[in-house]
Amino acid sequence: MTIPKKFKLQTKTFEVHYASHLNNAGSDPDQDILGLCHMTDGLIYIQKGLIDRELELQVYYHELAHALLYHADGSWQLTKNEELVDRLGHLLYQYDESKKGDLGTAVNKTLKADLTKFVNTKLDEEGE
């Protein structure tokens, strides 16, 4: 999975950036954090240089969960529930990591095969 540079929720376009040092002035300004979502500005920040790609994705999905809950509810109430946000973020990560196949590709291959067969049948009929 690739973390997008931009995405849209309702009318708000979000941008995703990496930052060297993050802190949350709303709680403990001395406590380093791994990610931050500014709903009103449409910005998600991810700590640069995290241990591995899995942690980076989990941080992204956690911050995405904040944004989703804010836009689904229209208020800050659900976004302040870190346990809910964390659970939703893990579910989004699990979904993305475990999905298999591409229905669009499978359908397109089937349609292409059917169309090819149809065209070949018609060409054979015309050739007789």
- The closest of 114, 44, 54 to 79, measured between CA atoms, is 44
Residue 44: per-residue pLDDT: 96
Q: What is the arithmetic mean of pLDDT over 91-103?
A: 85
Q: How many domains does the chain have?
A: 1
pLDDT bin (cut points 50, 70, 90) of residue 111 is low
Q: Are 37 and 60 in contact (CB under 8 A)?
A: no
Q: What is the arithmetic mean of pLDDT over 17-45?
A: 81
- In a domain, residue 76? The reply is yes
- In a domain, residue 116? The reply is yes
Question: Residues 6 or more apart from 78 whose CB is under 8 A from it?
Answer: 69, 70, 72, 84, 85
Which residue range forms the structural domain that includes residue 74? 6-127
- In a domain, residue 1? The reply is no
- In a domain, residue 122? The reply is yes
